[in-house]
Structures are given as C-alpha cells and as structure tokens.
Amino acid sequence: MMPHSAGKRVVAAMSGGVDSSVTAALLKRDGFEVIGITLQLYSDAPQRKGACCAGQDIYDARRVAEKLGIAHYVLDYEERFRARVVADFADSYARGLTPIPCVRCNERVKFGDLMEAARALGADALATGHYVRRIETGAGPELHRASDEGRDQSYFLFATTPEQLSYLRFPLGGLSKPRVREIAAELGLVNAEKPDSQDICFVTGNYADVVRKLHPEAAVPGDIVDEAGRVVGRHDGIIQFTVGQRKGLGLSGNEEPLFVLALDAGRARVVVGPRESLRTRRIILHDINWLADPGEAADCTVKVRSMRPPVPASVTALAGGGAEVELAAPEEAIAPGQACVFYKGSRLLGGGWIAAK
C-alpha cells in the first residue's frame, strides 16, 4: 500500500461486490481516510445474478460504506459507459472483431474518468479490488500478476499507463479469494457471500442482441466459404461468430470438423477451414501500451486469451505503435480484437490489440 497513512485520502472504487468492499475495509483498517465511489453504469437492463454497477449493487455498496463508516458517493456514468464501452463493443463485433469490454471499461472509465474524479476529491490514490500486484521499485512501480494465479486479472489491465499506475493501488493482489471472503465475513459485510460478477456485465441475454440494436446491418445474412472462397453454407450475420468457433455453423457431412478461421465484415462472409488452419506463430498487434522497456520483451511470455496460460514468445516493437509477436510454438484461434499481453516472470511488460490478418 502507501506508507504513512495518517492524513492520506484514498478513493476506493466500490462496485457492490465483495472484492471492492474488502478493498475499502483494508484501507480503513490501515488508517487511510477512505471515500467510496460507486459508478452507475447502466439502469435500463434487468438486474441479473453476477452483474455489477447497477440496482442492488449500488445499494450493497452503500450499506458496506455505512458499516465501515466512510463517505460514499454514486456517480452517474451511464452516458460515458454507453459511448466508450458499449458502443465500442458493438462497433467491434460489427467489424468482425472479438472485443474485450472489460479492458475498455478499465481503460476509459475506471482508470480514466474515475481517476479524474478521485483527483478532484484531493485523493492521494485510487484503489480497486482487482487481483493484481503493484510493486514499487527504484525505477518506479511495476505491475505484476496476482499471488493467486487463479484470480489474476492483469491481462485485463494491460492498457494501464505508467502515469495511471503511479496513482493506483491494489490491496487484494497478495490475497486469495477465500481469504477475501473470510475478511468480509469477519467484518460482517452484507456481501461476504455475494457471487462474483461474470461474463459481460451489460449483456443480459445474447450479446448479439446488443450489437444488432446498434448495428442492424451487422446481422445481414451472408455466405460461409472455405479457404478457397467456395460457398459451403449460409449464415444469419457475422455477429454470431468468432474465430475458433466450431458449433453453430450448420455444416455437416465434411471429412473433418470445420472451424471459423476469419470474419470478412465487408462482404458478410464467414471463412471456415480445418483445425490445422487455426494455428499460427506470428501475430501483428496495434496500439501497444508499454509498462517496461520494449527490449525486455525480446524474450518473454505472452497471453493471447485471458484464460490461456502464458507461452514463450519474442515481441518486436514496430513503427507507429505496433508490434510483431513470434510464438515459440503455434497457438490456435488468434482472434482479432482480443489482446496479447507480455510478461517477464510475473511482471506485465505491456500489451496490445490483435490485428486482423
């Protein structure tokens, strides 16, 4: 955390879940003046189990703040969230990409707008309930994977800038989820057993419905073609598919299973082929965010999906803010729109967005 807590003010981002609640509690215990802020991100979708930042969650955050005896404010960020996260999500799918809205939310709302609000309140830091470690060194703070590898969220924070990292704190980075729930129970917090948020918080049904609402043109039927361009079937819209997908193609009678290899939004085409064609050792990235010297990534490990383990690779920075990744062994289903994140041991070196081929 921060040394010399006396007189230090910290804003705790409180989503209404157990992680952010324990974050606020630990800060209060350590002697900081804590201000809890909850963001109202949407209200027009029905509340569901595992969602966050609306309805019951705001109420839970308020009750926790009262229990801890800290100030608590709710900020209406619905318009910003729709414009910067939901719209980007829909736009990406309409272009044949597979987006990660959690990264955009952290980048543009939580570590963007909320950080500005924290500074306006005179806070010395903004703390969140992410499972990731911030380690202070003589050269400045570093971002590392959480001690509990099963809970690590560093992949979703690759877009955090060095300036933001200097202001952020992550009290849960060295704890396990069971221990966090134990602390919540010991403190008598109302959400000690509350389920974790899951999937995409603003999607209550089929994600394609969200895309279709904003981009009806993305739901037009089109051809399913093989690698040679031969038509092998029809589809009801590219927004129903992602690279690597096998189910839902409506194709049968082939000698071997077919997978989605690429999405051609311009021609409303879904390109399919055998599993072997999903494998690649070279990835081109754009919009790289570096948290270390790019030279350190010449020999590193990378994650190409949040749930995949890191694999050996070499990353070379390119002109214009891009990078080329050479994998030591082929990886399957590299989906444009996902992130590729670089590590050296537990340290996050940087990351970028996977470009279409």
CA 251 distance to own-chain centroid: 33
Beta bridge partners of 313: 300, 327
Residues in the chain: 357
201 catalytic, yes or no?
A: yes
Q: Is 105 a catalytic residue?
A: yes
Closest by CA position to 151, among listed 123, 178, 124: 178
Helices (H), the chain: 18-29, 56-68, 78-81, 87-94, 101-104, 114-120, 162-167, 177-186, 207-214
154's CB contacts (< 8 A; 6+ apart) are 132, 143, 144, 145, 146, 341, 343, 348
300 CB-contact burial (10 Å; exposed 0-12 / middle 13-18 / buried 19+): buried
Q: Which of 52, 201, 300, 340 is catalytic?
A: 201
Which residue has 């060194």 as its token pair?
137
* Site of tokens 């996050």: 348
- CB atoms < 10 A from the CB of 248, how many? 10
What is the C-alpha to C-alpha distance for residues 346 and 330, in angstroms, rounded to an integer?
22
**Which residues, at least 6 apart from 216, have a Cβ–Cβ distance to it below 8 Å?**
none
**Residue 199 DSSP symbol:** S
Residue 75's closest CA among 136, 107, 121? 121
Catalytic residue among 102, 105, 300, 340: 105
CB 11 within 8 A of CB 123: yes
Return the active site residues.
105, 201
